[in-house]
């Protein structure tokens, strides 16, 4: 989808406890990172059942056709807590669809699709793991942490590459993940 050369741009665990009020505001990933072109795809992996009741991913079909204006609207329950990034252009949210997944299923979404998620109104936990893949030729204006070369080569140098692949120690990985977001 993005070419023979692929970097792992980043990963995020999105976990919502039962009856969790947290949400993710409507946004476009490519705007957030100031990508010069949208050749980034996110694989959203359901680690638990993900549905409308527990705050599944929602997308607005066709919204990937243009980059929209955004503004910062910080809110204590917004999981995009650092920026509160929210689409400020008119988007017909009545067209939004739920991305319902069973554990182990994935969805793929375009870097410019408008997406977000609501609170978890259910009595069960909702956990997803997002893996973002980008073509090394894509430039990015915002600062970024080192990335992993997943396949092919990086002939562009737009991102700092990790000197070695991450280890298999899950506890260390979760600790590093939490430290990065702090």
pLDDT band at 80; cut points 50, 70, 90: confident
- For 73-107, give the DSSP string: ---TTBS-TTT-EEE-S---GGG-EE--B-TT-EE
Domain residue extents for the chain:
6-165
In contact, 7 and 155? CB cutoff 8 Å: no
Encode pLDDT of 129-141 as tens digits. Answer: 999 999 999 999 8
**In this model, does residue 182 exceed pLDDT 70?**
no
Instruction: Please give the share of the chain, as a percent, with pLDDT higher than 90.
Output: 69
- Mean per-residue pLDDT of the chain: 91
- Give the whole-angstrom CA distance, residue 32 versus residue 71: 10
Q: What are phi and psi of 72, to 5 degrees?
A: -90, 125
pLDDT at residue 97 in the model: 97
Encode pLDDT of 52-66 as tens digits. Answer: 999 999 999 999 999
**In this model, does residue 181 exceed pLDDT 70?**
no
- Residue with the bigger pLDDT between 45 and 68: it is 45
Domain 6-165, CATH among 3.40.50.12780, 3.30.420.40, 2.60.120.620, 3.40.640.10: 2.60.120.620
The stretch 105-126 carries a mean pLDDT of 97
**In this model, does residue 109 exceed pLDDT 80?**
yes
Beta pairing, strands 24-27 & 148-151: unpaired
The stretch 97-114 carries a mean pLDDT of 97
Encode pLDDT of 169-179 as tens digits. Answer: 777 777 776 76
Per DSSP, the three-state class of 78 is strand
- Give the whole-angstrom CA distance, residue 124 versus residue 74: 27
The stretch 34-62 carries a mean pLDDT of 96
The stretch 72-98 carries a mean pLDDT of 89
- Give the whole-angstrom CA distance, residue 115 versus residue 160: 28
């Amino acid at each position: 989808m993005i070419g023979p050369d692929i970097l792992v741009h980043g990963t995020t665990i999105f976990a919502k406890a039962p009856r969790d009020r947290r949400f993710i505001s409507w946004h476009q990933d490519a705007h957030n990172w100031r990508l010069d072109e949208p050749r980034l795809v996110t694989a959203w992996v359901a680690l638990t059942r993900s549905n409308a009741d527990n705050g599944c991913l929602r997308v607005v079909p066709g919204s990937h056709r243009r980059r929209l204006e955004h503004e910062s609207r910080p809110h204590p329950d917004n999981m995009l807590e650092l920026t509160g990034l929210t689409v400020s252009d008119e988007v017909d949210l009545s067209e939004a669809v739920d991305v319902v997944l069973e554990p182990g299923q994935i969805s793929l979404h375009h870097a410019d699709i408008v997406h977000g998620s609501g609170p978890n109104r259910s009595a069960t936990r909702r956990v997803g793991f997002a893996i973002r893949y980008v073509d090394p030729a894509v430039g990015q204006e915002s600062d970024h942490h080192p990335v992993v070369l997943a396949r092919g080569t990086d002939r562009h140098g737009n991102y700092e590459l990790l000197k070695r692949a991450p280890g298999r120690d899950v506890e260390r990985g979760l600790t590093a993940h939490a430290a990065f977001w702090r």
